[in-house]
Structure 1
């Protein structure tokens, strides 16, 4: 038995005379030639098929096969077998940011060595490499600061309407509690930790921390007292272990959260604390004085990557493409690594023969000319269930739970697992804890959300709010802001679209 596999468009029809089902096209021709050149019990795949298989299978090196009607040999790879499900994905190389990661390491060393808080703001437009720089720094951190602990908070795209929502995740991480912890358990756990850590008023501090996201009773909380409680908690955590606090997408935060961060960074004593925030330049439009005048503040404004770094990225993603392809992507990307990566992935998924000059010319000419158009082109190539899944996930925000998707659209339940696997394989989503999924880049979420008509957004926000409400039984106060946001968006968008939503 010999097998040849090729991927591409074909024409399928039934022969009226014989009743046979006929399939014709370039992919059929290539598959036939690969099958003829295969050894016994061997499977030979076209380069496009091997790329489409993703990380699930192992292939041998590239070989060339002659195919009828082709001006150049066809690239092919021999299938070696299925990879283990635990096999790690290829990690994108760290390129062009050595000076920036060195600055992060230097500031980290000062914060930990001098035992005083430092704030680093990494500012850059979307897609410039803020998240990749942070990932590289955190990957190296254990070697330099083996005792350091990292906690992460993430501002939601609609975060200006959710005052302190990111602190919910932050507190649970400081306490070592899972995301689904019952609200009634949070305050006693916080008080017990504060007592062990030596807080002077653990009961009151725990009450204030819980009040940040509504899990408390009693009179309204004084803002200054609330801020002081958070500063105490973060300082105590840093004194237990050197602490790195990461806040992503701070440009979406509320003004109150910006004020709180500035208070936390006002040193009152020794505390090995490093806070890193990622933001777009809009943050400085909202708050031009952010970090200004502080001796413990460092601003990193990322510039576009140079052409050599972008070229190396494209070469890695396309596994040694012709120089003409690299040059074209470099010119289009203009130093934006996310854009370059999406262009390369678009070429890979469309699957032209990169050794065929005419195919390369046609594929390059069809490449989108903006970041958003590139992402949209990739979404358009998705199977219907995968495309719908990523649209529905975008309604929830940067991250969403798999179980929330069929809750807002029950018809997707049957094919959801396969749809999610496809999105993970094509690097549009990343797995989180439990059934949580995160968009690989916030721009993917933004483009997916923009593909939804206004009236449909209204309906889906209403459905998301209803589902979140059912999931928050027993912790209604904690989820109230988020649930209210979705219902508010449903009403606002529905009114703008001129539709009536069911109450």
Structure 2
């Protein structure tokens, strides 16, 4: 018999387990530990300290991945020179054939090992009756050796397995034992209790099908008491593994909200994940998945099914009291039905007296299966119970049921109440959803809703959206309401909406002028109550900002006078924050003004003005190059925002990004990447992609990894967020610079400019940095270009230098905007241009001028404290010094750059050092840490290009262990990559 699995149909590998319905992905994800446990305990793969058993039960819910694990176990066994046979129990209701999985196994043995099968059949003729195609009808009788006597069958099959296992160990797999007939269960009991030389047995079953009266439930309990039998329970996948599975099924970049939605609904079940990914666009439970889920209801009586349908209408969970108020059952009947649903693994009961579906998707499937009229009637019953006080519930519950029962008056009032409740407990996102629901009900009502101030509701909704970080949505809602205002609407209504719109526009990138909108609002509200006018003046002052500081200060002082004369305390606090940044006499004391404003807001209990003041204080230190202090303030903003549930409001969210930027400059790249990881969170899309863009700037731009598709996906957001365009565009330019590919770098630069200029202004400050990076790319490429190509590049370089020069001219009048980072890029621009002229031989500079420029670039980077830029400047300086004959100076600069590049894991920098002919100082034998024998083995395989997984398989160790060894080898060889480690090893004769 060949080392194959056995079955009536075979794949290329001749195994029956691959004939089951194909999985969506062939990768085994999140089950390494379970596979290791099975392999070790069954003795397939020896593992020190692990107790070997002769049989394993593999339990898990439907779809949790039992078959996939068993397929991986099969592959492991075959690789270890085992034989594998498999039999399957089928769901044939009450007409199942006895011994069906063993009949399947016998048929395969007869096909693959006819000699062995013939010898056993001769000894046990009764076994022939189990051959596929020769199963006797129940009405037939037999006698003598031909009778299907259970003892004969058991002994015969045991002898068959023992005979097969003579040449090589045998793994016997029986799947879906929850469908097994009584004869099959008894056969398994016999095999579990009788050790067979060289035979290991694995039996799988669905744990969620084993209700209290299921015959296998008692049998499993008995099997577990047998010596040499153990059980493995397959639990749902962890969230990280669900994420890996989603990525395997749907390559590309998904939003975190999509990941979270799939993970929440699938609850770690791989089959659910696969189905939901396939139906991600619809949001509905896929039909195939719904059919699988609804099977759980088939074994319930009608009363229990009715209660389960009521629970599906209730939502995620429902209290016993609310169920009792809605259902028409007496207490005993309700409790009996609930007990049946719990015992059947449909519902789970909590200690708090609530019930929920065991799988949330089952609840969705049950709800989707209701008739439309049935849903409306049941929701109306919930509205009645909650509205009349017959059961305790929240405003959010009442709003949900009223909306679905089409009871608009109740739904509108309950939604507004739910929104205010959510804001009170720090849930702006939930509040915004409730307010949006109320607005939709008002706008789509067939009769006018006169008892609700729709304009005030719109403004409140916009406030909640902004607090949740969904500023573009707030702008959209406000614009939509302004568009529907009648021409004769009161000036106060229009002015308040314009004030709110201008305030929102200040927090997002837009082609619309916040200042013009705010000025119009002020004009409309001149005759309105002081509170409305003061708010409009405050927003107008904010919109004028530092570009028109004198005008802004005058408007803010007018607003402050109004606020103080009319006891508008909270507005006065916000105005003090605004004035702190407009005081022309503050000078070096500006920071004290922001800190004072923040403390004033904190004393008044006003969290949003406090966050704004702290944010600007952090920006002030950041712009001055005080990165440590700026980081402390950004962390304070983030920490304080969590108190008020405002973590994704604009100032804390941007503080998180700016903290990551500061950490990046400090060389703490891993900390920056981790800080921006929004895994498991639900951020507004604008911040999710902005954070991801900075992560890609680190991974691609600085470290040289390849995630081209990620950058392409980010381009979708360039036109709506200037900072995303600049950050992702910088990553594209830096990737092109590493090649170097000046055409690609220039194209990325032009695309960034085209995206950002309409949102900001033509000479935005980051344009200086981008233009400088592209000039550097032209310089790196010049050494390999022809004279014609260099001359052709001259126009592009001149344009880039002109663009950067205009940025410098634009910011010349604004001292506050020309901090150490700005000066660093001014110096780098001059040095890169000289390097291009030198390498392109276009009006080349003298050596001293070139060296002096790069010394200045290095010094300016040191002044700012940007570790990556210091390293870049030193790499370029090393190249220049080597070219002008200063070998000693070149080595000093290169060694410093190399040390930083290794710490940063900056592949492009290390590659550039290699390209300019710089090598580390020779290392004596005593300075090289000795490799262990295992590390030597692994290094040899690394040099052959093997992956960690391949090395682990070859050396029979885990992938994680290989990873640890590889990290140790890289550290001992002072290598930044596997490739460099292999090169060093060959040079030193280690391999």
* TM-score normalised by L of structure 1: 0.45
Query: Larger RCO: Structure 1 or Structure 2 (Cα < 8 Å, ≥ 6 residues apart)?
Result: 1
More helix by share: 2
- Rg larger in 1 or in 2? 2
